[in-house]
Chains A and B, each alone.
Chain A
Amino acid sequence: MPDTALAETPAAAADKRLIGGRIPLARLRDLALVPAILIIAVVGQIVSPVFLQPDNLLNVLQTMSETALLVLAETMILIVKKMDLSLESTMGLAPGVAAWLVVPVGAGHGLGLLPGGWAIPVTLAVGALVGVINAMLIIRFGLNGFIVTLGMLIVLRGALTGISGGQTFFHLPPSMLYLGTTEWFGVPASIWICLTLFAVAIVVLGWTSFGRSLYAIGGNVDAAKAAGVRTDRVLWIVIVTGSVLAALAGLLLSGRLASVASAQGNGYIFTVFAAAVIGGISLNGGKGTMFGAFTGILLLFMIQNVLTLAGIPAQWIGALNGLIILAALIVSRITGGKVQD
């Protein structure tokens, strides 16, 4: 095999990988889900003329914005070949702690210790703290990331149940409601935030040496070290940023629902993993792009929306969601052509 490979002229090799001489094949794989998204749009329009109405599309984008932020966070973490299961419970606990401290006494389990303006800083700080603890256990002490974050998932979920007494926090201060409810230029703020953060993440991962070091670490950590990448520092940043993003996602969700349920975020992590894998992120690290992950989550939410518009009973949506994930994996296996890992 090496003989033939080396004998190829560079030009011949280039022909195989460049379509029309311009776009590398690797780039095309990032776009693999775009045709699927277009097909779903057409199907959706056939099912219900409401589908392509701007209101409906904004609705899809807004309902997916919180989960999409988790996908963004998990994608970074998966690229460096780690995993963070506790994102979903961080999403619940971080705004939960803020609500606990801020909501006045008498209304549910609130303590009323801090003025309302503290809610956002407290939320983000709780996210950062969870990230720091995870990073410390995984990087500093070398524990298994999957189990650490599984444990953390259970701890955080239990802590939220503890502080809320299993009940939902209402009467949130205006600062917590703002991001989830306000509109900027006629579009909900959470959509702006979600799209902006994805745009930033696409640029960081594609065009900065920090972003590329994520791929280097996930692909071959020894080689990354040998190339002078400060691997531990990059991992710290990625894990802590991931948790802060999860806290932000929780803030958006609490704002939109004007409450923090004691089960907020439960089960989200499965959708998040599914979206990332469908979007081309490898669970073995080092592969996939932020744009791919975005198309993954967009596809899942569009299909759900079409099903709802088609009048599928709500009780069946869960089973169908699972089937969609399996079907999407099969489709991306066929279009991607490679064994998924």
Chain B
Amino acid sequence: MPDASARAGDGRSPQEPPVVEATGVTKKYGPTVALDGAGLTVAAGETHALVGRNGAGKSTLVSILTGLQAPDEGAVSFAGRPAPRLADRDAWRQRVACVYQKSTIIPGLTVAENLFLNRYDRGRAGLIKWPALRRRAAELLAAWSVAVDPQTPAGDLSVEQRQFVEIARALSFGARFIILDEPTAQLDGAAIGRLFGRIRDLQAQGVTFLFISHHLQEIYEICDQVTVFRDARHIVTAPVADLPRAELVAAMTGDAAAADRRDGTRTVDAAAPAALTVSALTSADGAYEGVDFRIGAGEIVGLAGATGSGRTEVAETVVGLRSASGDVEIAGRRPRPGSVPDALAAGAGFVPQDRHYQGYVPEMSVADNGTLSVPARLGRHGFINTQRRDAIAAGMIENLEIKTPSPYLAVSGLSGGNQQKVVMARALADDPRLLVLINPTAGIDVRSKEFLLDKVEQTARSGAGVLIASDELDDLRVCDRVLVMFQCRVTTEIARGWQDHELVAAMEGMDLNA
């Protein structure tokens, strides 16, 4: 940070050098060009958005800005002064901090210890003074109004609390420039609201943010400036207010693909046989109660609700990941409750909530992951016919336009959007009668998202019923109707053509007509 004399007034004076300036940054990994002469300038006190599709070079830029990697060419400066040496971690931490999507806290240690890791208060004899450390942690958390007990094991924190703790830790190093890498990806609407409130508070106290997100709506809500990267290059930097949504999407994708081109003309055959019937479903652990609904063949039904509303749990019950009292009937068959194989055999295809955790086996190949749920089609008596597997995999790669150099590449080597396509391919592998998707587009880029949602519509047209459990408005837009869950019950049903605010209000439990 600049010294006191340079920080005249409120910390937003235009004469002040930019908090961070990267110019002509090039970074290559072997033959891959991750950044090609890209640059970024963030002025003090603003909240600056960095957007781009997966593979646009955002992550590489973040690792260069946080001093984890050195650029091959180009320079980075903080407040007008050149960046410190890579080895000087302390100097970097005083200038910039990053809250990554992947947690950088240590789950087994307490919050207090995480905050002051490797910079403990030490008494005589060099031993750590735990009471002093806890006191300092409590003071730090209180100073930035983070309501977390410093004695809690960090692994017990929610995603939201973890982010606040990481922000507090960054501030305690003296950094007043914080990079948030997709902070909202794992948060529900209410938590996002609180996060944004916190960002505004800190911004008023002179903290500068670089905000990375796939959700364009959030950028319009919280950011002052936006920079777009595409294919390792800097495309545009503009005030958010001067860049309409369509232009922003165009800058990201390189073509004029409209963000909202969902047709409203789909019709549903009301007489179609049921793909899914759920009646009086009540979970044993109280996650939801008395859920009834029916999905006809060819119909897309959304299950909306905030995190904790029970939407995810209902969808997981349908595919047998959880058991509950009540009936689930998939395409006329009643799978044994709590049995995933039975649900799949009845004709369900499933895209689970968190692809990293339940979606795929990272070190297995695209072909193996794609065919994981259809062993019977790979050969007889449990032996795998590799030719048949490769033929199925080739079909999947073509059908879902998975960008992979080879079906034998481990899934962990793909971008997020393509990983999700592999998971989707597997769900579609057995031509399901019912497709169940939970947060299908979380953390993937705009174009992959459009593509996957198109696939969902295509699947429905081919006669399958689709259930999408999500709180993502773009996911729900493809649905013929949306069931909204609030506090463990289905409270509202909204037909296609809703306005954003109606649905959000229903998810938050507000009644706009009252």
Most buried by A among B93, B106, B306: B106
- Those of B137-193 within 8 Å (CB) of chain A: 147-149, 151-153, 157-161, 187-188, 190-191
In angstroms, Cα B119 to Cα A209, docked, is 8
Beta-carbon nearest neighbor of B150 in chain A: A10
- Asked if B118 contacts A215 (CB within 8 A), the reply is no
Q: Is A212 an interface residue (CB 8 A)?
A: yes
Q: How large is the interface on B (under 10, 10 to 19, 20 to 34, 35 or more residues)?
A: 35 or more
- Asked if B153 contacts A3 (CB within 8 A), the reply is no
Mask, A201-225, CB within 8 Å of B = 1, is 0010011110011011011101110
- Asked if B151 contacts A18 (CB within 8 A), the reply is yes
Residues of A within 8 A of B151 (CB): 14, 17-18, 24
- Asked if B127 contacts A203 (CB within 8 A), the reply is yes
- Asked if A215 contacts B108 (CB within 8 A), the reply is yes
In angstroms, Cα B151 to Cα A224, docked, is 19
In angstroms, how far is the closest chain B Cβ from the Cβ of A265? 31
Residues of A within 8 A of B159 (CB): 2
Q: Is B220 an interface residue (CB 8 A)?
A: no
In angstroms, how far is the closest chain B Cβ from the Cβ of A76? 15
Q: Is A9 an interface residue (CB 8 A)?
A: yes
In angstroms, how far is the closest chain B Cβ from the Cβ of A287? 5
Q: Is B372 an interface residue (CB 8 A)?
A: no
Known: A18-B151, A228-B90. A6 touches B161 (CB 8 A): yes
- Asked if A223 contacts B158 (CB within 8 A), the reply is no
Q: Is B107 an interface residue (CB 8 A)?
A: yes
New A-B pairs, 7, CB < 8 Å, besides A2-B307, A13-B148, A208-B126? A3-B308, A10-B149, A209-B118, A220-B105, A220-B107, A222-B102, A227-B118
Q: Is B117 an interface residue (CB 8 A)?
A: yes
Mask, A8-52, CB within 8 Å of B = 1, is 111001100110000010100000000000000000000000000
Q: Is A319 an interface residue (CB 8 A)?
A: no
- Asked if B106 contacts A220 (CB within 8 A), the reply is yes
In angstroms, Cα B153 to Cα A286, docked, is 12
Q: Is B266 an interface residue (CB 8 A)?
A: no
Residues of B within 8 A of A219 (CB): 106-109
- Asked if B90 contacts A5 (CB within 8 A), the reply is no
Beta-carbon nearest neighbor of B102 in chain A: A222
- Asked if B128 contacts A207 (CB within 8 A), the reply is yes
A-B contact pairs, 13 of them (CB 8 A): A5-B157, A6-B158, A6-B160, A6-B191, A26-B110, A203-B127, A208-B128, A220-B106, A223-B105, A224-B117, A227-B117, A286-B107, A286-B109
Most buried by A among B118, B158, B190: B118
Q: Is A314 an interface residue (CB 8 A)?
A: no
Q: Which 9 A-B pairs have the closest CB atoms?
A: A219-B106, A2-B158, A207-B127, A227-B117, A223-B104, A286-B108, A227-B118, A13-B149, A228-B89
Q: Is A276 an interface residue (CB 8 A)?
A: no
Specify which of B122, B161, B190 is in contact with A5 (CB 8 Å cutoff).
B161
In angstroms, how far is the closest chain A Cβ from the Cβ of B181? 13
Q: Is A339 an interface residue (CB 8 A)?
A: no
Q: How large is the interface on A (under 10, 10 to 19, 20 to 34, 35 or more residues)?
A: 35 or more
Q: Is B472 an interface residue (CB 8 A)?
A: no
In angstroms, Cα B161 to Cα A1, docked, is 11
- Those of B183-206 within 8 Å (CB) of chain A: 187-188, 190-191, 194
Specify which of B103, B119, B307 is in contact with A220 (CB 8 Å cutoff).
B103
In angstroms, Cα B134 to Cα A317, docked, is 47
- Asked if A2 contacts B118 (CB within 8 A), the reply is no
List residues of chain A with CB under 8 Å of any chain B CB: 1-6, 8-10, 13-14, 17-18, 24, 26, 203, 206-209, 212-213, 215-216, 218-220, 222-224, 226-229, 282, 286-287
- Asked if B104 contacts A222 (CB within 8 A), the reply is yes
In angstroms, Cα B152 to Cα A18, docked, is 10
- Asked if B118 contacts A229 (CB within 8 A), the reply is yes
In angstroms, Cα B103 to Cα A207, docked, is 25
Q: Is B231 an interface residue (CB 8 A)?
A: no
- Asked if A215 contacts B147 (CB within 8 A), the reply is no
Residues of B within 8 A of A207 (CB): 127-128, 130
In angstroms, how far is the closest chain A Cβ from the Cβ of B88? 10
In angstroms, Cα B118 to Cα A220, docked, is 14
Beta-carbon nearest neighbor of A223 in chain B: B104
Most buried by B among A3, A13, A24, A226: A226
In angstroms, Cα B89 to Cα A223, docked, is 13
In angstroms, Cα B118 to Cα A14, docked, is 25
In angstroms, Cα B168 to Cα A10, docked, is 17
In angstroms, Cα B149 to Cα A18, docked, is 11
Q: Is B113 an interface residue (CB 8 A)?
A: yes
Residues of B within 8 A of A10 (CB): 147-149
Known: A3-B308, A24-B151. A216 touches B106 (CB 8 A): yes
Beta-carbon nearest neighbor of A225 in chain B: B89
- Asked if A223 contacts B106 (CB within 8 A), the reply is yes
- Asked if B308 contacts A1 (CB within 8 A), the reply is yes
Residues of A within 8 A of B190 (CB): 3
In angstroms, Cα B104 to Cα A287, docked, is 17
- Asked if A5 contacts B106 (CB within 8 A), the reply is no
- Asked if A220 contacts B90 (CB within 8 A), the reply is no
Known: A1-B308, A17-B149. A215 touches B109 (CB 8 A): yes
In angstroms, Cα B114 to Cα A212, docked, is 10
In angstroms, Cα B157 to Cα A26, docked, is 15
In angstroms, Cα B110 to Cα A176, docked, is 44
Specify which of B104, B118, B153 is in contact with A228 (CB 8 Å cutoff).
B118
- Asked if B122 contacts A216 (CB within 8 A), the reply is no
- Asked if B160 contacts A216 (CB within 8 A), the reply is no
Known: A3-B190, A209-B128, A227-B117. A9 touches B147 (CB 8 A): yes
